[in-house]
């Protein structure tokens, strides 16, 4: 089903938990870590909401599912809330997926260093007190800087919005298959599979 969302890549921002500090990106990057993570977007600081259990379950299970497919053949890796700094912003999506060749590594193969580019795949999980518009805006910002794929997961409505390039975002529900990076040839996951993780009983 095609979603009725504008493709201008400039959805209106609706900030939540915005902090009053007016800092430069360089000043923001020197601040101590916060819990939950804070982000610097368009010159303003936003602290992410404390995740509820539905959010945490999907974040854990989905990152594990991606890594089960991507890691053995060194195709990609999924990281929870990995900070990415690019285009004057510093964001920490719920899940960041990087293709293997782009992961900075030490000589002995350990991941290290900072991510100073847009992720290949950004995944955001909508919490009850979050603005969908701000998350959509973040996904479009990433796409405009080279991100190949974006997901916005809505646990309450059990739907996933798929963002890719200039295409109109698509809504996936029930048995609809979810689109992954092209490099993940063996990917198979439906919206129903994803939301089944919430029914732990």
Confidence of residue 107 (pLDDT cuts 50, 70, 90): confident
Q: Is residue 172 part of a domain?
A: yes
CATH code at 104? Answer: 3.90.1570.10
Q: Is residue 23 part of a domain?
A: no
Q: Is residue 32 part of a domain?
A: no
CB 96 within 8 A of CB 70: no
Tokens of 157: 């409505």
Tell whether the model's pLDDT for residue 140 goes beyond 70.
yes
Q: Is residue 41 part of a domain?
A: no
Q: Is residue 16 part of a domain?
A: no
Domain count for the chain: 1
CB 22 within 8 A of CB 77: no
Confidence of residue 9 (pLDDT cuts 50, 70, 90): very low
Going by C-beta distance under 8 Å and a sequence separation of 6 or more, which residues neighbour residue 197? 57, 58, 61, 62
Q: Is residue 2 part of a domain?
A: no
CB 41 within 8 A of CB 85: no
- Least confident piece of the model among 7-11, 59-63, 102-106: 7-11
**Residue numbers of the domain that contains 120:** 51-196
Q: Is residue 9 part of a domain?
A: no
CB 134 within 8 A of CB 15: yes
DSSP 128: T
Q: Is residue 136 part of a domain?
A: yes
pTM of the full predicted structure? 0.86
């Amino acid at each position: 089903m095609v979603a009725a969302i504008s493709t201008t890549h400039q959805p209106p921002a609706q900030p939540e938990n915005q902090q009053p500090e007016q800092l430069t990106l360089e000043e923001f990057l020197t601040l101590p870590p916060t819990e939950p993570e804070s982000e610097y977007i368009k010159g303003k600081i936003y602290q992410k909401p404390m995740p509820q259990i539905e959010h945490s379950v999907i974040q854990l299970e989905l990152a594990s599912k991606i890594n089960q497919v991507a890691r053995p053949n060194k195709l990609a890796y999924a990281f929870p809330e990995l900070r990415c700094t690019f285009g004057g912003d510093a964001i920490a999506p719920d899940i960041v997926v990087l293709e293997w060749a782009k992961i900075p590594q030490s000589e002995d193969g350990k991941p290290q260093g900072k991510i100073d580019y847009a992720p290949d795949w950004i995944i955001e999980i909508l919490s009850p007190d979050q603005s969908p518009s701000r998350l959509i805006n973040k996904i479009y910002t990433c796409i405009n800087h080279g991100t190949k794929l974006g997901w916005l997961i809505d646990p309450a409505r059990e739907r996933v919005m798929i963002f890719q390039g200039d295409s109109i975002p698509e809504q996936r529900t029930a048995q609809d298959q979810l689109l992954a990076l092209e490099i993940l040839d063996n990917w198979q996951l439906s919206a129903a599979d994803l939301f089944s993780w919430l029914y732990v009983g």
